Structure 1
Amino acid sequence: MSEPQKSLREGLIYGLIAYIIWGLVPLYFKTVKNVDSYEILAHRTFWSIVVLALLLTALKRWNDLRLTLRKPKTVAILAVSALLLVGNWYGYIVSVYTNRLLESSLGYFMLPLANVAFGMIFFGERLRPLQGLALAIAAFGIGRMIWTYGDIPWLGLFLTFSFGLYGVMRKIAPVDGLIGFTIETIVLLPFAITYLTFLALQGKMQFLHPPGVQDLWIVLAGVVTTAPLICFAQAVRRVGLISLGFIQYLSPTIQLLIAIYVFQEEFSESKRFSFFFVWVGLGIFVIDTVVMLQQTKRPEAIVHNVDAVEVD
């Protein structure tokens, strides 16, 4: 197997792991729903750095981290991606806490299509005719939803664009998943510690008050957060944003099923009809991607390696 083929295969495996975990994450957040959304957001950052420190030690990557921290432009890119990431985290937590997981799943159904646009805008990836048709049909579905409900699904759109742009930033950052996410977490850590300290001094922090099983679930926020993001970052550096869209529908599909059958959110006929157009667009997109993969004789044509990009 050639190196481009190996890279593509590894990227797809990393992507599958990331999106399956993300699809199941709503079950985790329902478990800690009694914890204030801002506090759980701070805990995600704090416990992630603990997990990352253990990984850096086990893999002997501390020197790689130090070297990357000496590259101002790389750190600047990761600071921007950190802000996009924490915004996406908060929006997602809110969607679960407020029983809007259906809208969240809509946002992530749209994400692969948004990545097509971002791939064109930022990386010069070419839009094929079927991809254009897929985008148009999906946009019609979103437009119909806005027309039907008289309201724009802001939360879903926010999740789409915040994580789509996060993928763009991570793709241009010449750093692997572990080191990149560690730096992002370091950027966010002072804010998390400050907020948790404020809650503790006010006697309002729910962690350890009183100690119990919920504390264990809060600590697991580090694993729940870290594992899929590292896998995603590894995937996005091995596979083009358009190609990665092939598997991104897994996460919102799992979320949708959880929203309907576990959380019992209303999925009316009108909502189903609007989702239908998004699904048709995704179906066309997936078919086009499969055909493209089968017709591509040189896998390196769809693997976008950015290791050579100089940004320091």
Structure 2
Amino acid sequence: MSEERRGYLYGLAAYVIWGFFPIYFKLLQPSGALEILAHRVIWSVVFISILLAAARNWRFLARIVRSPRLFGGMSAAAVLIAINWGTYIYGVNSDRVVETALGYFITPLVLVLLGVTMERERLRPWQWAAVAIGGLAVVVLTVDYGRLPYIALLLAASFGSYSLVKKRLKLPPAEGLFVESSVLAIPALAYVAWLTAAGHAKFGHVSVTHSALMIFAGVATAVPLMLFAAAANRVPMVGIGILQYVAPILQLACGLLIYHEPMPPARLAGFGLVWIALIIFTVDALRQRSTPGPAAATAEPVAALPPR
């Protein structure tokens, strides 16, 4: 099996797991979003530490310590994924699962825009059309919601940026996630300590099942992120963008079929525009990848640059 095909399998597994996250995070109530986020960080560090200790693989830390640029990149990735995690938890537990799904539908278009703004790539005409339709969809949804769909936009911006940073750094999955989680661990521990001292912590005070699920959040967080990092190191960004559709389709199904969130006609029209944009983008990307010659290579959006 080729490395690229292996990467697609890793990515598919990651997105299927993420697709069912709404069910998991609903089970963590009545803990608030920040408490859940803090425990995700803490138990992710614990889980990854066990994996690295078993593999006796700590030499990568010396490389990171010797490279301020690399550590800075990992710190930036940590902040971006914390924003993404926190926003997603808040969206799910405030009954906005459909809007969180919208965020991940928009993410491929954000990846295209990052290719233009950060990687100085040129879009093909159909890609510009997809981006324009996606922008129109945001306008329609803003009118429907009566506000900007800020949860969706923040999820798309944070995860798209995180994807680009991970693509540039090219660190092995476990090592990269360990550093990211470790950067966040001190503020996470401080928040949990304060919450416990103030008597507001739910962890350990709801049920044994609730506490076990909070602890398992570290595994549930680490496994798909490791799979995603492994995919990002093997798959072109256009491939990551296409795989991205799996998770929001499953999340949207959870929001509509399990939690019965509303989907009025105007909102459905906004989602329809997003799906049209994604179809145009996907067909154009697949057509371009199937075209031999140098043009196919240069037209790929968000092509990662080597670390520098």
Q: Establish whether residue 215 from structure 1 lines up as the match of residue 234 from structure 2.
A: no
Q: 1:14 to 1:204 in 2, by over 3 A?
A: same
Q: Establish whether residue 152 from structure 1 lines up as the match of residue 156 from structure 2.
A: no
Shift of 1:10: 2.4
- Aligned residue among 196, 201, 208 for 1:205: 201
What's the counterpart of residue 123 of structure 2? Answer: 127
The 3-state SS of whatever aligns with 1:61 is coil
Shift of 1:105: 0.8
Separation of aligned partners in 1, 2:17 and 2:121: 28
Shift of 1:155: 1.1
Separation of aligned partners in 2, 1:11 and 1:258: 26
What's the counterpart of residue 18 of structure 2? Answer: 22
C-alpha root-mean-square deviation of aligned residues, in Å? 2.1
Instruction: Give the number of equivalent residue pairs.
Output: 305
* 1:202-223: CA deviation from partner (whole Å, max 9, x where unpaired): 2322111255111111111001
Task: Indicate conservation of the 8 Å contact 1:43/1:192, yes or no.
Answer: yes
Normalising to structure 2: TM-score of the pair?
A: 0.92
Task: Indicate conservation of the 8 Å contact 2:140/2:270, yes or no.
Answer: yes
Higher mean Cα deviation, 220-229 or 60-69? Answer: 60-69
Separation of aligned partners in 1, 2:109 and 2:9: 20
Q: Which residue identity does 2:149 align to in structure 1?
A: P
Q: Establish whether residue 41 from structure 1 lines up as the match of residue 37 from structure 2.
A: yes
Q: Establish whether residue 267 from structure 1 lines up as the match of residue 263 from structure 2.
A: yes
Q: Which residue identity does 2:115 align to in structure 1?
A: G
Task: Write out aligned runs for 1:1-312 (5 A).
Answer: 6-209=2-205, 211-296=207-292, 309-310=307-308
Task: Indicate conservation of the 8 Å contact 1:237/1:305, yes or no.
Answer: no
Task: Indicate conservation of the 8 Å contact 1:237/1:304, yes or no.
Answer: no
Separation of aligned partners in 2, 1:125 and 1:11: 24
Shift of 1:97: 0.8
Shift of 1:11: 2.3
Shift of 1:110: 0.4
* 1:27-52: CA deviation from partner (whole Å, max 9, x where unpaired): 10011121121111110001000110
Task: Indicate conservation of the 8 Å contact 2:192/2:201, yes or no.
Answer: yes
Q: 1:276 to 1:305 in 2, by over 3 A?
A: closer
Task: Indicate conservation of the 8 Å contact 1:11/1:235, yes or no.
Answer: yes
Higher mean Cα deviation, 169-178 or 211-220? Answer: 169-178
Task: Indicate conservation of the 8 Å contact 2:289/2:297, yes or no.
Answer: no
Higher mean Cα deviation, 293-302 or 167-176? Answer: 293-302
Q: Which residue identity does 1:33 align to in structure 2?
A: Q
Normalising to structure 1: TM-score of the pair?
A: 0.91
The percentage of counterpart residues that share the same residue type is 34
Separation of aligned partners in 1, 2:75 and 2:24: 27
Separation of aligned partners in 1, 2:292 and 2:108: 20
* Structure 1 unaligned regions, length at least 5: none
Task: Indicate conservation of the 8 Å contact 1:20/1:251, yes or no.
Answer: yes
* Structure 2 unaligned regions, length at least 5: none
Shift of 1:200: 2.0
Separation of aligned partners in 1, 2:221 and 2:116: 29
Q: Which residue identity does 1:251 align to in structure 2?
A: A
